[in-house]
């Protein structure tokens, strides 16, 4: 009998849940060892079966809630638990916000960063907030999300956290694909909608590099989905034997290349595949938090995307340098800054800082890096440049803590920290940190 089989055959054990941890699970202890149990709540007594047992911790699944917490509620989605997209639907929204604020504070302090006494919270409507979803296809051509405990596709009939037009479009697209283009066999579909759901984009991801006609499919899709204004087919994998895999490339395209997205008082062009903040209810509030009270001669917006912050900053700064390297975003960035004091720069942030950091000291630097954070090279450059004011927008508290420790060690002081809940019902959280040169 294998180790895994021995573990699965072992009886479930009673544990008491202590607190939430980053990643969606909750902490319990068994004979002193940390045990991570998803879909539970602090204070609950749970019979849990150990799944993976490592030297420093174990993971487990709750088989029975012996004593339920008063905050436990019925989830709003029929797929919750099987689907891997959400983690907190079994508790009320105020409790979710407290979980995230506590996790953020603990992560910062564990990383050697003194969090301020007050961590503000930016939150909004916790349902139907997503303006973008990406789903996979199963062997029967049904759409769904990856499962919580495996990479298998969990077919869906609903998704309460997504804009309704996206769910409708995903289900219709799967039906149309099965009837009109079964030979296409996409692996995934990504859908993006503007705030009021009047316009949709679709991207179909395939593995084969064979020629992919799209006209008949696009015609059938647009007939069923009048809000669909553009679609593309993207090849994501390399031919057999070719490593490493080349970057994704567009094999076919139909309709408009971009959506116009109204946010923070401006119309933004957002091209296929370009990053844009996912919570349609909180985009305006996020921009306001980042830019409020900021003014001067020169601002830098690093990892600028399509210019969400740079466009607003151009109202209060004489010149805004917006730096972005992603090909999907740079064209839109230039278009969105046209006619303003914004200057789009197509470059990686580290390279830009190496070149320009010796020549200019801006009044403000805004950074909005990917989940990997800034890293040592960029934090060192930022500390050396020493802009009087900095705003750090982070989507990962662990890499944020690492970078803040470096920045505060390099001459910055934390003015304020706000937790922006851009991803209700999930463990993901966004953080806005304002720093001032000490």
Cα 155 to Cα 78: distance, rounded to the nearest angstrom: 11
- pLDDT tens-digit readout, 54-94: 999 999 999 999 999 999 999 999 999 999 999 999 999 99
Task: Find the mean pLDDT for residues 191-207.
Answer: 96
Task: Find the mean pLDDT for residues 112-140.
Answer: 97
- pLDDT tens-digit readout, 43-63: 999 999 999 999 999 999 999
- pLDDT tens-digit readout, 12-33: 999 999 999 999 999 999 999 9
What is the per-residue pLDDT for 18?
Answer: 98
Question: What is the share, in percent, of the chain residues with pLDDT greater than 90?
Answer: 88
Sign, CA dihedral 262-267-270-276, equals negative
Q: Which helix (H) or strand (E) holds 246?
A: none
Say if 3-72 and 132-261 have the same CATH topology: yes
For the chain, what is the mean pLDDT?
94
What is the per-residue pLDDT for 241?
Answer: 56
- pLDDT tens-digit readout, 291-324: 999 999 999 999 999 999 999 999 999 999 999 9
Q: At the topology level of CATH, where does 3-72 sit?
A: OB fold (Dihydrolipoamide Acetyltransferase, E2P) (2.40.50)
Cα 372 to Cα 400: distance, rounded to the nearest angstrom: 9
Task: Name the pTM for this structure.
Answer: 0.94
The CATH architecture annotation of domain 100-125+279-437 reads 3-Layer(aba) Sandwich (3.40)
The most confident of the ranges 204-208, 214-218, 264-268 is 264-268
Cα 86 to Cα 148: distance, rounded to the nearest angstrom: 9
What is the per-residue pLDDT for 6?
Answer: 43
Contact predicate 169/226, CB 8 Å: no
pLDDT-derived band at 10 (thresholds 50, 70, 90) equals confident
Contact predicate 325/347, CB 8 Å: yes
Cα 173 to Cα 417: distance, rounded to the nearest angstrom: 42
The position carrying tokens 């603990």 is: 106
Residue 233 confidence (pLDDT) above 80: yes
User: What does the domain layout of the chain look like in residue ranges?
Assistant: 3-72, 100-125+279-437, 132-261
What does CATH list as the number for 132-261? 2.40.50.1070
């Amino acid at each position: 009998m294998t180790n895994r089989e021995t573990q699965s055959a072992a009886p479930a054990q009673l544990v008491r849940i202590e607190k939430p941890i980053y990643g969606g699970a909750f902490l319990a202890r068994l004979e002193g060892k940390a045990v991570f149990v998803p879909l539970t709540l602090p204070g609950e007594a749970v019979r849990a079966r150990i799944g993976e047992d490592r030297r420093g911790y174990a993971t487990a699944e709750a088989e029975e809630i012996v004593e339920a917490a008063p905050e436990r509620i019925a989830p709003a989605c029929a797929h919750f638990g099987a689907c891997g997209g959400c983690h907190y639907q079994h508790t009320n929204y105020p409790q979710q916000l407290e979980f995230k604020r506590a996790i953020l504070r603990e992560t910062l302090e564990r990383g050697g960063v003194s969090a301020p006494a007050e961590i503000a919270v930016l939150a909004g409507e916790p349902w139907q907030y997503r303006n973008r979803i990406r789903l996979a296809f199963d062997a029967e051509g049904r759409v769904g999300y990856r499962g919580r405990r495996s990479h298998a596709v969990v077919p869906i009939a609903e998704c309460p956290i997504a804009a309704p037009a996206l769910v409708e479009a995903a289900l219709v697209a799967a039906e149309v694909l099965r009837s009109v283009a079964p030979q296409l066999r996409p692996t995934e579909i990504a859908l993006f909608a503007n705030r009021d759901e009047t316009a949709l984009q679709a991207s179909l991801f395939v593995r084969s590099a064979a020629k992919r006609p799209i006209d008949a499919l696009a015609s059938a899709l647009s007939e069923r989905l009048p809000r669909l204004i553009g679609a593309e087919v993207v090849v994501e994998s390399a031919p057999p034997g070719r490593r490493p895999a080349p970057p994704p490339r567009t094999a076919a395209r139909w309709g408009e290349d971009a959506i116009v997205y109204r946010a923070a008082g401006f119309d933004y062009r957002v091209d296929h595949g370009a990053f844009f903040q996912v919570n349609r209810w909180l985009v305006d509030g996020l921009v306001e938090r980042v830019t409020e009270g900021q003014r001067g001669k020169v601002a830098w917006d690093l990892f600028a995307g399509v210019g969400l912050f740079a466009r607003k900053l151009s109202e209060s700064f004489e010149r805004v340098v917006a730096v972005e390297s992603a090909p999907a975003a740079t064209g839109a960035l230039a278009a969105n800054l046209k006619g303003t004091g914004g200057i789009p720069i197509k470059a990686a942030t580290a390279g830009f800082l190496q070149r320009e950091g010796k020549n200019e000291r801006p009044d403000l630097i805004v950074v909005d890096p990917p989940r990997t954070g800034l890293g040592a090279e960029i934090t060192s450059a930022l500390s050396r440049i020493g802009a009087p004011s900095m705003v750090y927008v982070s989507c990962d508290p662990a890499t944020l803590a690492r970078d803040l420790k470096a920045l505060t060690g390099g001459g910055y002081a934390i003015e304020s920290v706000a937790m922006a809940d851009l991803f209700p019902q999930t463990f993901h959280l966004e953080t806005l940190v304002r720093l001032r040169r000490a």
